[in-house]
Amino acid sequence: MARAVGDDDDHPSTSSTDDLPVSRYANDIASAVKTNAVTVVIGETGSGKTTQIAQILLRSGVVADGSAVAVTQPRRVAAVSVAKRVAEEMGVEIGKEVGYSVRFEDRTCRLTRIKYLTDGTLLRELLEDPTLSRYSVVVLDEAHERSLHTDILFGLLKKLVSARELKLVITSATLDSEKFSTYFDDAPVFTVPGRTFPVQIAHATEAPKSYFQSAIETVVDVHVNTGPGDMLVFLTGQEEIEKACRAVEAHVRSMPEGECPDVQVLPLYASLPPDMQSRVFHPHDPNVRRIIFATNIAETSLTVPGIVFVIDPGVVKQVEYDAMTGMNALKVVPISSVQAKQRAGRAGRTQAGRCYRLYTKDALELDMPAITRPEIQRTCLVGTILYLKTLNLKGLDVMTFDFLDPPDTALIADALRQLYFVGAIDPDGKATSIGREMSSLPLEPCLSRAMVEAKRLDCVADTATVAAMLSVERVFLGQHRDATESLHELATHEDFLLGDHAVLLRIYQAWESSGYQRKFHQRYSLSDRGMEFAREIRKQLLGVFKDKRKSDRNDFDCFSRTDEGLNRLRQSLCAGFVTKIAHRLPNHNGYRTLGENSTLCQVHPSMARQLADKDGLLPEWIVYHELITTSRPFLRHVCKIEPEWISKQRELLSKKVNIHRLSGGVLSPGDAESTDAASGHEADTVDANKAPVE
């Protein structure tokens, strides 16, 4: 029988970094950065941009004494993983000279000279320290990914480099240098000559019925019929990847001994525990073929060494936000031709390779977009716009902010409307004290607004618990419904009738009472990491509020674990989720969302059962966390609310708002009419004296 082997070697690789392309041009890179405020560095994925540039700049004295170099990463896992790698290369302990800082986890100290951080974390640092005084160099890495936060940093750091002595390095793996260079006032471009091997590309002759099935068949075919070499297969998500791993392992086990070489099948996706993730970097037996099933994370942010075969189904999972309906659509969409090229390139890093594209050449040329649409153009911008508002930039009109690629005005208008409705900005588009307080919390806007309300209602601890549980990627091990039977031991029937938030609160409270036991996780199918992470987030959130109170009091809630406590929690959620209220249809379990573009939708079936009363009816009024469409529009994470809590909000939601004024385009109310007319904006009226939400 052929073997599917486990990973039993946990010594990290120690291959030399001197022959990485970037290292060979160390002097040129250092002097380019020395002589220019902004430098664009282009180099193939795997050429050493992420791991080497910061070290080069430090060694060559570009990083001023007593200051540090910040290297941003769009992905949290990449920030952590490369920081560890660089610490290892430099032979230092992580958290000292080399550290990382990601949301809810800071492994840096006063000594830190090289700091890897997510682009989101650097944005937060800018709030506290608008000139980023700690750093003499900032590297905006993986710029080609065009993540939302990196795009915002482009605009803000462009201003900052002209205001103070700060070096900015933009790195990209794709040849979009001209665009970056032009945006940064013709910044010089340094292209690191690549050293790649030819990759032979095979296209499908006809479109497969199922890209997943086709991927599995191709993996098996290549494994059985070609010579040695590791394989990298791009899939769209965790579930699909786990399924593929099982399918291929089973297939290999069923083959007669000697028919094919042994294999090691490895998954690679963002929410995989870090030690499992780093297995792709470990040395392994060359006689064993490694087959790695990965998400897009392996396209450019993590370079898996030794890949000879790439299998590319040509798709990626992506969230697209619709500003009209407030709906997120999670879609499997075709990749762009730039991405297709990147993926194929993964096969030729160490020797000549082969890429099997599971789509036709025609599809590539006719159906797939040329370039990837930046995240800023397909995501909800509430958090981003609030952020820009709280920075207090002089004369800021968010509609005309210097974006590299501006988002559609409908996305900005939607964000402004939502911010106004929750009371984060005033009718003139200025951040209110509520808005500023929201910005100081590392949570998505609706949850941070709920936290601000919780402070007023004296239910901070419970609301923090719920916010923390909703902020971790995965609390439940299986699907939520798998766990519900045993969860009835933790939450009462009444709790279930109130919705997910009440149940999440009860789970956490029971875990807390158990003394945070691990046994507890097993019994209720909870994720160890998820729960521990929730505990950490909660601690940090409470820390923020404790600092604000300037007192040692830790007993935030007088009503915790009582019905009144739950009422207050739900009222806080009402304040946060004003723009996410849904009303049930009469005698029907369908819902209609409130607001200008109301949508018909349903509570996700996995949740609906628990919420139904004895007549099978769901609550009349709910707030929801997310409206997402897969096959149909579904509401996720819903909480029952009482109609009397939202009468004011409903009135407000029916009002028209003056978007132009909210965006900051009108300096004083007197200018409003003429400016509106001139710019063609709809001159809607709004009562300027009315506070949006009490």
Q: How far is CA 303 from CA 199, 275, 317, 348, in A?
A: 16, 16, 20, 12
Query: Measuring CA to CA, how many Å separate 554 from each of 49, 350, 402, 542?
Result: 45, 56, 44, 8
Nearest to Mg ion of 71, 467 (CB atom): 71
> Nearest approach, Cβ of 48 to Mg ion (angstroms)?
8
CB of 46 to ligand ADP, least distance (A): 5
Q: Which of 39, 47, 112, 572 binds ligand ADP (CB under 6 A)?
A: 47
Question: Of Mg ion, ligand ADP, none, which one does residue 289 interact with (CB within 5 to 8 Å by kind)?
Answer: none
Torsion sign, CA atoms 50, 54, 57, 62: positive
Residues 258-287: x/- map of binding to ligand ADP (CB under 6 A)? -----------------------x------
Distance CA 591, CA 593 (A): 6
Decide: is 50 part of the binding site for Mg ion (CB under 5 A): yes
49 binds ligand ADP (CB under 6 A): yes
Cα separation, 135 vs 130, whole angstroms: 12
Q: What are the residues whose beta carbons fall under 8 Å from the beta carbon of 674, sequence distance 6 or more?
A: none
With contacts defined by CB under 5 A, name the span among 49-57, 333-341, 428-436, 442-450 that binds Mg ion: 49-57
What's the min distance (Å) between Cβ of 88 and ligand ADP? 7
Give 49 or 378: the residue with its C-beta nearer to ligand ADP: 49
- Give whichever of 51 and 264 is closer to ligand ADP, judged by the CB atom: 51
Q: Give least dist CB 654 to ligand ADP, A.
A: 51
The neighbour count for residue 74, using CB atoms within 10 Å, is 23
- Please tell me the count of residues contacting ligand ADP according to CB under 6 A: 18
- Residue 283 carries which DSSP code? -
Based on the shown chain and the rule CB under 6 A, indicate whether residue 43 belongs to the binding site for ligand ADP: yes
73 contacts which partner out of ligand ADP, Mg ion, none, CB within 5 to 8 A by kind?
Answer: none
3-state secondary structure of 472: coil
**By CB under 6 A, is residue 13 in contact with ligand ADP?**
yes
* Cβ within 8 Å of residue 615, ≥6 positions away: none
Q: Binding partner of residue 692 among ligand ADP, Mg ion, none, CB under 5 to 8 Å per kind?
A: none
We find the least distance from the C-beta atom of residue 52 to Mg ion, in angstroms, to be 10
Tell me the window of 79-87, 131-139, 388-396, 481-489 that interacts with ligand ADP (CB under 6 A): 79-87
Q: Is 303 in the site for ligand ADP (CB under 6 A)?
A: yes
CB of 280 to ligand ADP, least distance (A): 8
User: CA–CA separation, 433 vs 88, rounded Å?
Assistant: 44
Smallest distance, Mg ion to C-beta of residue 277, A: 15
What token pair was written down for 61?
A: 């004295």
Binding part of the chain for Mg ion, among 41-49, 112-120, 158-166, 417-425 by CB under 5 A, reads 41-49
Q: What are phi and psi of 320, to 5 degrees?
A: -120, 130
Crossing angle for the helix pair 445-457 and 528-549, nearest 10 degrees? Answer: 50
Strands (E), 272-342: 289-294, 307-312, 315-322, 327-334
Nearer to ligand ADP, 141 or 444 (CB): 141
The single residue among 4, 23, 48, 183 that binds ligand ADP, judged by CB under 6 A, is: 48
Query: Kind of pairing, strands 327-334 and 315-322?
Result: antiparallel
The nearest distance, CB 40 to ligand ADP, in angstroms, is 14
193 contact choice in ligand ADP, Mg ion, none (CB below 5 to 8 Å, kind-dependent): none
Nearest approach, Cβ of residue 49 and ligand ADP (Å): 3
Structural contact between residues 139 and 69, judged by C-beta atoms closer than 8 angstroms: yes
The answer to whether 520 and 588 are in contact (CB under 8 A) is no
Considering the complex, what minimum distance in angstroms separates the CB of residue 49 from Mg ion? Answer: 5
- Report the alpha-carbon distance of residue 163 to residue 130 in Å, rounded: 11
Q: Provide the minimum distance between the beta carbon of 145 and Mg ion in the complex, in angstroms, as a whole number.
A: 10
- Residue 656 vs residues 11, 310, 325, 413, 661: alpha-carbon distances, Å: 62, 53, 16, 12, 12
Interaction of residue 52 with Mg ion, rule CB under 5 A: no
Minimum separation from the CB atom of position 298 to Mg ion (A)? 12
Establish if 81 lies at the interface with ligand ADP (CB under 6 A).
yes
Q: How many CA atoms lie within 13 A of 96 on its CB side?
A: 6
- Residue 85 lies near ligand ADP (rule: CB under 6 A): yes
H helices then E strands: how many in the chain? 27, 21
Distances (CA, A) of 31 to 53, 54, 156, 160, 499: 12, 13, 25, 21, 59
Reading the block at residue 160, the tokens are: 């900052």
- Supply 53's token pair: 């540039």
Asked if 135 and 69 touch (Cβ cutoff 8 Å), the reply is: yes
Q: Which of 3-11, 46-54, 361-369, 522-530 is the region at the interface with Mg ion (rule: CB under 5 A)?
A: 46-54
Under the binding rule (CB under 6 A), the answer on residue 82 touching ligand ADP is yes
Of residues 434-493, those binding Mg ion (CB under 5 A) = none
Distance of closest approach, residue 299 Cβ to ligand ADP, in angstroms? 10
Residue 172 or 649 with smaller CB distance to ligand ADP: 172
Q: Which is nearer to ligand ADP, 188 or 305 (CB)?
A: 305
CA distances from 297 to 104, 237, 488, 621 (A): 21, 10, 38, 40
Report what 181 binds from ligand ADP, Mg ion, none; CB cut-off 5-8 Å by kind: none
Q: Write the CA distances from 380 to 401, 409, 649, integer angstroms.
A: 17, 12, 21
Q: Can you say how many angstroms the Cα of residue 610 is from the centroid of all Cα atoms in its chain?
A: 30
Encoded tokens for 563:
């019905």
Helix (H, G, I), strand (E, B) or coil at 401: coil
Task: Give the one residue of 179, 305, 331, 540 binding ligand ADP; rule: CB under 6 A.
Answer: 305
- Contact flag: residue 403 with ligand ADP (CB under 6 A): no
| 198 binds, options ligand ADP, Mg ion, none, Cβ within 5 to 8 A by partner type | none
Q: Taking the mean position of all CA atoms in its chain, how far away is CA 297?
A: 12
Residue 81 partner contact from Mg ion, ligand ADP, none using kind-dependent CB cut-offs of 5 to 8 Å: ligand ADP
Q: Which stretch binds Mg ion (CB under 5 A): 48-56, 481-489, 494-502, 631-639?
A: 48-56
* Among ligand ADP, Mg ion, none, partner that 47 touches (CB below 5 to 8 angstroms by kind): ligand ADP
Among 23, 39, 51, 118, binds ligand ADP (CB under 6 A): 51
Long-range contacts of residues 194-198, Cβ cutoff 8 Å, at least 24 apart: 194/21, 194/43, 194/44, 194/47, 195/21, 196/44, 196/345, 196/348, 196/349, 197/348, 197/349, 197/350, 197/351, 197/352, 197/353, 198/348, 198/352, 198/353
Amino acid at 387: Y
Q: Smallest gap, in angstroms, from Cβ of residue 145 to ligand ADP?
A: 11
Instruction: Kindly list the residues in this chain that would bind Mg ion in the complex (CB under 5 A).
Output: 49-50
Instruction: Kindly list the residues in this chain that would bind ligand ADP in the complex (CB under 6 A).
Output: 12-13, 20, 43, 45-52, 81-82, 85, 281, 303, 305
